[in-house]
């Protein structure tokens, strides 16, 4: 499930790379190619992965991912960079730490819920007010994510580069989704 979510988060990157590197009819061709490859991957990936894990071993899937990443790393210098805006955006380190930590703490709490219990403690290392630690770990993750959102809005108001532009949610087509 996490791999699927990660893949969904990566999908905008090829579209942005195509938009920045191609013009006119070449852009249309590039979008068509990436769409075809994505469609083929969606169709063939689960079948090939299922066959490999059933007939060979589940470890082969991870070997395949390492081979693909190695290929990408070797080919990366051959890909030209898109024209960059001036000035070059700077990484929001605080936002990166808040989002990664918040998501990590939240997911850790959810994963440990089967061991610790959701509300009623099972094997919770500590109990707070008679409740399992799960509730408080998840709440801590939510507080960190709230801090991330607050920090991003602060950076947007200060005209600094945020990690996520929440102001995009004010655009009706972005807010309502496709269709």
Of 96 and 91, the structure prediction assigns the larger pLDDT to 96
- Report the C-alpha gap between 131 and 139 in whole angstroms: 13
38 φ/ψ sector (left φ>0, alpha ψ -120 to 50, else beta): alpha
User: Please, are residues 115 and 161 in contact by the beta-carbon 8 Å criterion?
Assistant: no
| 53 φ, ψ (degrees, to nearest 5) | -70, -30
Sequence-ordered alpha helix ranges (H) in 56-92:
59-75
Using one digit for the tens of pLDDT, what is the confidence trace for 93-151?
888 889 989 999 999 888 888 888 787 778 777 778 888 888 899 999 999 999 999 99
Predicted pLDDT of residue 18: 80
| 128 φ, ψ (degrees, to nearest 5) | -120, 120
Residues 6+ apart with CB under 8 A from 21: 30, 80, 82
- Report the C-alpha gap between 144 and 64 in whole angstroms: 35
Tokens 């075809």 found at: 36
Binned at pLDDT 50, 70 and 90, residue 179 comes out as very low
- Report the C-alpha gap between 162 and 158 in whole angstroms: 10
Using one digit for the tens of pLDDT, what is the confidence trace for 12-54?
777 777 877 788 888 888 888 888 888 888 888 888 888 888 8
- Report the C-alpha gap between 61 and 49 in whole angstroms: 7
- Report the C-alpha gap between 39 and 11 in whole angstroms: 12
Predicted pLDDT of residue 82: 61
Tokens 């007010």 found at: 129
Peptide bond preceding 51 in cis form (omega within 30 of 0): no
Structure tokens at 16: 């942005």
Q: Assess whether pLDDT exceeds 80 at residue 153.
A: yes
- Report the C-alpha gap between 172 and 83 in whole angstroms: 28
């Amino acid at each position: 499930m996490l791999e699927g979510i990660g893949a969904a988060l990566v999908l905008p990157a090829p579209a942005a790379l195509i938009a920045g590197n191609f013009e006119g009819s070449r852009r249309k061709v590039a979008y068509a190619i990436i769409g075809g490859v994505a469609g083929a991957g969606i169709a063939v990936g689960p079948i090939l992965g299922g066959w490999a894990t059933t007939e060979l071993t589940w470890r082969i899937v991870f070997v395949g991912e390492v081979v693909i990443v190695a290929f990408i790393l070797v080919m990366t210098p051959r890909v030209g960079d898109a024209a960059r805006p001036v000035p070059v955006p700077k990484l929001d380190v605080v936002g990166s730490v808040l989002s990664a930590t918040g998501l990590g703490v939240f997911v850790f709490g959810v994963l440990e819920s089967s061991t610790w219990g959701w509300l009623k403690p099972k094997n919770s290392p500590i109990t707070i007010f008679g409740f399992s630690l799960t509730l408080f770990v998840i709440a801590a993750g939510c507080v960190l994510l709230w801090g991330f959102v607050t920090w991003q809005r602060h950076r947007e108001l200060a005209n600094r580069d945020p990690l996520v532009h929440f102001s995009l949610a004010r655009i009706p087509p972005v807010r309502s989704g496709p269709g």
